[in-house]
A and B are shown apart, each in its own frame.
Chain A
Amino acid sequence: MKRNYKTGLILGLSLVLTMVLSACGASKEGMQADGSSASGSKDVELLNVSYDPTRELYEAYNKAFAAHWEKEKGQKVTIKQSHGGSGKQSRSVQDGLDADVVTLALGYDIDALQEKGLVKEGWQSKYEHNSSPYTSTIVLLVRKGNPKGIKDWDDLTRGDVQVITPNPKTSGGARWNYLAAWAYALKKSNNDEAKAQQFVQELYKHVPVLDSGARGATTTFVERGIGDVLIAWENEALLSVKELGADKFDIVYPSISILAEPPVAVVDKVVDKKGTREVADAYLKYLYSEEGQTIAAENYYRPTLESVTAKYKDQFPNLELVTLKDVFGTWKETQQKHFSDKGIFDQIYVPGSS
């Protein structure tokens, strides 16, 4: 009986193992066949892994680039898009999603790819403007007519004001919100870090709901009617006003804000494997062209090309913008100091630290 059980166990195990192994082998073969056919024929396929609010932007841009590339090289290119939270997207690529290019919300998420050896060092200086073809900034979205009279960051710490912003620890975009407030406080207090921290801590005391992502925060503010002001990316704010009607919300431009730089990079390891470097590189470069910049501006991102900026200057008012580099240094330092565990943001919430 005992022997019977043992042989059965071994038989069962080996049978299923062979099944699993052969299935794996088959899929690997399939992939190789696919890969060779892609490099052999004239058609080429790119995967752009991006973050949530760029969906419409890249839908328009991909069409424009495909047309441009076909005219230039006579090669047909199809671009697949993948969208999600910036950090989550970065992790998918780290875990093996074959992205040719990444277009994410923060440099930190591409730094993480560099650490895994997927992107070469120096990616941030590979393209102009810190590899950010378009930029944005952080603005304040208030209800129509601005009933609480919010004009600047200071008003967000007033007793009667409730602020909606997502959690910077779970949302990459929300880190820019936090940094914008910090930059303002730092400037106002003549670079007194302690005062800046106090200000930001006070601000987060006025946050009744800490959503896990930026779209969730927008829903809380817009649909649930909670809060008096939403800290948001300018492109998202402009989109909200356009989509939900200009009769519902106003955009308030604070006296100073941060220049949000969503960066782009070629995933070196993937393009070398797939042989798509040339087209991937051209794909990102074309973002800086007149056509690419116009599409960015039409999707409410601030263009970096001057001729296009001039054309859209009514849409993007001038305000004092500081860069991450000026005030905070690199993303790695910023992340470590503010958003890592036991960093400043955690201290704001753990009892005994105030």
Chain B
Amino acid sequence: MSQMQATRKRVLPGFGLTMGYSVLYLSLVVLVPLSALLLNSTGLTWGKFWDVATDARVLASYKVSFLCAAAAALIDLFLGLLIAWVLVRYEFPGKRMFDAVIDLPFALPTAVAGVALTALYAQNGWIGSMFEPLGWKMAYSQTGITLALMFIGIPFVVRTVQPVLEELDKDEEEVAATLGAGRWRTFRSVIVPELVPPLLTGFALAFARGIGEYGSVVFISGNMPMKTEIAPLLIMSKLEQNDYAGATAVALMLLVISFVLLFVINSFQRWSRRRAV
């Protein structure tokens, strides 16, 4: 009986057929390219692979890539929540416009973002020139990289938090209020638990995007080896030497670390969702 119901509820015909399509398309678009990456680095012996992937300069670049991406995603987490909150809870003139602008970093070629941000934050740019006398270098430093990654990461947080915030039941807040909870208490105990899963998703997406970001960062980072050089740039530099195997070795390492990190974040998110329900 229950099985009958389950079959009737399916929108797409036949689990087998749809699953077949899904697996095939996922293979063509994601899995096969990724395994080609693996295959490309097989030109190296294990020892050589390890040498390339753990070279001092490569390690420094992983550190820059991951730390800046994490910092940017963390800042985006708070910033994104605030923006989503304002968009959902308040009415103000130009709200639609404001809402549409959020998506622009998705659409804009990242190189354009890089050029625009560099123009702003360089020593002679509008904003950069204000911080220059204070001895704070914005562009051509890790601050610059983080700024660029914040820019391209912010829509991920806003767009994952916004719908959940919209769906949130006003009744629960009212109940909390009638039970004597203050505003902060309501926010902390009623709203935040609901928002943790989407916030984690947003964080993971912004973080993942930041690790792989190339276009906007190469313009604003200054690309100084050991200091502001990102891992994707080293991949480019290896390709420039026609060193496909070396480039894929670095890429593979990046892929593995990213996957592990994303897996951990996703598990954490699933755990928190289960706990919330």
Residues of A within 8 A of B (CB): 4-13, 16-17, 20, 85, 87-88, 90-91, 94, 112, 167, 169-172, 208-212, 216, 219, 223-226, 335, 339-342, 346, 349-351
Q: Residues 200-223 of chain B: 1 if any A CB is under 8 Å from the residue's CB, otherwise 0? A: 000000000000000000110011
* Cβ of A226 to closest chain B Cβ, rounded Å: 7
Partner of B241, one of A7, A226, A335, A349: A335
Let me know if B123 is at the binding interface, CB within 8 A: yes
Q: Provide the residues of chain B in CB contact with A350, threshold 8 Å.
A: 56-57, 225-226
Count of A-B contacts with CB under 8 A?
119
Sorted from nearest, which 6 A-B pairs have the closest CB atoms? A8-B16, A12-B20, A349-B225, A5-B16, A9-B20, A8-B17
11 contacts between A and B (CB under 8 A): A5-B19, A6-B16, A9-B23, A13-B20, A170-B223, A209-B224, A211-B223, A226-B122, A341-B52, A341-B238, A350-B225
Q: Provide the residues of chain B in CB contact with A208, threshold 8 Å.
A: 140, 222
Residues of B within 8 A of A (CB): 14-21, 23-25, 28, 52, 55-57, 115, 118-119, 122-125, 139-140, 218-219, 222-226, 233, 236-243, 246
Q: In the bound complex, what is the Cα–Cα distance between A225 and B128 (angstroms)? A: 13
| Closest chain B residue to A111, Cβ basis | B242
* Cβ of A111 to closest chain B Cβ, rounded Å: 9
Q: Provide the residues of chain A in CB contact with B236, threshold 8 Å.
A: 170, 212
Q: Provide the residues of chain B in CB contact with A216, threshold 8 Å.
A: 218-219
Q: In the bound complex, what is the Cα–Cα distance between A16 and B23 (angstroms)? A: 11
* Cβ of A109 to closest chain B Cβ, rounded Å: 9
Is there an interface contact between B223 and A7, defined as CB atoms closer than 8 Å? no
Known: A210-B222, A346-B57. A112 touches B242 (CB 8 A): yes
Q: Provide the residues of chain A in CB contact with B56, threshold 8 Å.
A: 350-351
| Closest chain B residue to A336, Cβ basis | B241
* Cβ of B26 to closest chain A Cβ, rounded Å: 12
Is there an interface contact between A169 and B16, defined as CB atoms closer than 8 Å? no
Known: A4-B16, A6-B16, A226-B123. A12 touches B21 (CB 8 A): yes
Q: Provide the residues of chain B in CB contact with A335, threshold 8 Å.
A: 241
Q: In the bound complex, what is the Cα–Cα distance between A211 and B123 (angstroms)? A: 16
Partner of B55, one of A91, A226, A341: A341
Is there an interface contact between A87 and B239, defined as CB atoms closer than 8 Å? yes
Is there an interface contact between B240 and A10, defined as CB atoms closer than 8 Å? no
* Cβ of A26 to closest chain B Cβ, rounded Å: 18
Known: A9-B19, A12-B20, A208-B140. A91 touches B242 (CB 8 A): yes
Is there an interface contact between A212 and B218, defined as CB atoms closer than 8 Å? yes
Q: In the bound complex, what is the Cα–Cα distance between A350 and B234 (angstroms)? A: 14
Q: Provide the residues of chain B in CB contact with A223, threshold 8 Å.
A: 119
Q: Provide the residues of chain A in CB contact with B24, threshold 8 Å.
A: 12-13, 16-17
| Closest chain A residue to B137, Cβ basis | A208
Partner of A11, one of B17, B52, B124, B218: B17
Known: A212-B236, A223-B119, A340-B241. A12 touches B223 (CB 8 A): no
Q: Provide the residues of chain A in CB contact with B115, threshold 8 Å.
A: 219
Is there an interface contact between A172 and B240, defined as CB atoms closer than 8 Å? yes
Partner of B226, one of A5, A88, A349: A349
Q: In the bound complex, what is the Cα–Cα distance between A125 and B218 (angstroms)? A: 38
Q: In the bound complex, what is the Cα–Cα distance between A13 and B21 (angstroms)? A: 7
| Closest chain A residue to B114, Cβ basis | A216
Is there an interface contact between B16 and A7, defined as CB atoms closer than 8 Å? yes
Q: Provide the residues of chain B in CB contact with A339, threshold 8 Å.
A: 241
| Closest chain A residue to B214, Cβ basis | A212
Is there an interface contact between B16 and A341, defined as CB atoms closer than 8 Å? no
* Cβ of A66 to closest chain B Cβ, rounded Å: 33
Is there an interface contact between B57 and A349, defined as CB atoms closer than 8 Å? yes
